[in-house]
Structure 1
Amino acid sequence: MMSYFSDTSSNDDELETLRWYHYDMSRHAAEALLLSNGKDGSYLLRNSNEGAGSLALSVRANDSVKHFQVTRKSSGYAFGFNEFPSLQDFVSHFANQPLLGSETGTLIVLKYPYPWRVEEPSIYESVRVHTVMQAGRTERDLVAKAPSLGTKEGYLVKLGAFIKNWKQRWFTLNRNELKYFKDKMFDEPIRTLDLTACSAVQFDYSQERVNCFCLVFPERTFYLCAKSGVEADEWIKIIRWKLSQIRKER
């Protein structure tokens, strides 16, 4: 792995041996990765856009991801009010004192380091996170030039609007558009849902079916059912992440 810094000190070598150091991963990509594939308490270390010597610790807390600045110094690493002479001391501190407090007062537990080399989980079959692994690129570059950031596709069963029957449809999620087709081989969608108009996505228990969730739009609430609870949870998480990004841009 290439070093982000120009010098070849032992601190650089130590940083690059850290299994949960993700080098040039952007803030948006880290959020997508942890929300899609991590769990509460998953965390990773990455380079920050604040400049040379700045790192960021990204931690998943429930359905959001918090980011904390870690500063590299000649004497070691500064994190909050603490300084650590080495990464080993840095990691040992997390093991012995695993609670972090965000600016909102939320306590975040560091439980699961997310390694940069993993056996890809099954969720990657449907959710693909694209990152730009080039020095000098920013989050803005990533969003503009990676149209597939956080995509998903698969069959869902949808409740009709007027005739209340359930029909299987092929769904694709790309950027802020959720499209559904009569079947997978069709090129033209039956309808395209603009997620910028969606106010919420959540599990739904009002229908006489399992593994259902709903998307709330001003003119209609769409009821969808997946083949399993895990699949429904994947759809909810990736759409919820999309909605959070839309709100940030407003």
Structure 2
Amino acid sequence: MSFYSDDASADELETLGWYHYDLSRHTAEALLLSNGTNGSYLLRNSNEGAGFFALSVRAKDSVKHFHVTRKGNGYVFGFNEFPTLQHFVNHFANQPLLGSDAGTLMVLKSPYPWRVEEPSIYESVRVHTAIQTGRTENDLMPSAPSLGTKEGYLVKQGAIVKNWKQRWFTLNRYELKYFKEKACEEPIRTLDLRACSAVQFDYSQDRVNCFCLVFPDRTFYLCAKTGVEADEWIKILRWKLPAVTLSVSSHR
């Protein structure tokens, strides 16, 4: 990734932890503004050609760019000329001041490394779907509902005795199953959503975060822990309903 005929000098430059090679101006600004702090800086190749670089420095809510030119084995930065790469690096290690044409005074505080450890923290997937490449939205509607899945605890009202019990629900394809506990292998019941005519919030049960599923022979009442969770269930369950039901409902 080097621009230089002198391989030894090029290799020395590439050992610089904050040299970002062909990083673009736009990407440098995005990196420093998103992940850096005031005084973060990095070195990158300039689009002016071999031996030309740009020093990008974050100054509060903006990023300033400065010319750096390679001269022999050394570097020219502003009015300063450094005989070796090590002198150039030492200059920044001493936190010098930079003044831009606009009079902004900046302190070079911390180099932004080329290799950054990515935090191993990810959001858990609550609802996931798959869509085939090359299909339009119209192509997907008949088959797409079979692709979404979701699972979690909901409180369900009994059929005969109108008490409420916590059950573990799983949604896969058109099947909504509920179990006594998460660890149970056999479901208490499996509901075929292709027979469901409506899914909506319900306020008749004097309970919060409650919604219902309307089937020909019975309406099932379920409650989530939060309104956000209830809304998630309603949205994906509605997505599963037959297309004919959705089209009829949308014209009412």
TM-score by length of 2: 0.47
TM-score by length of 1: 0.47
Larger radius of gyration: 2
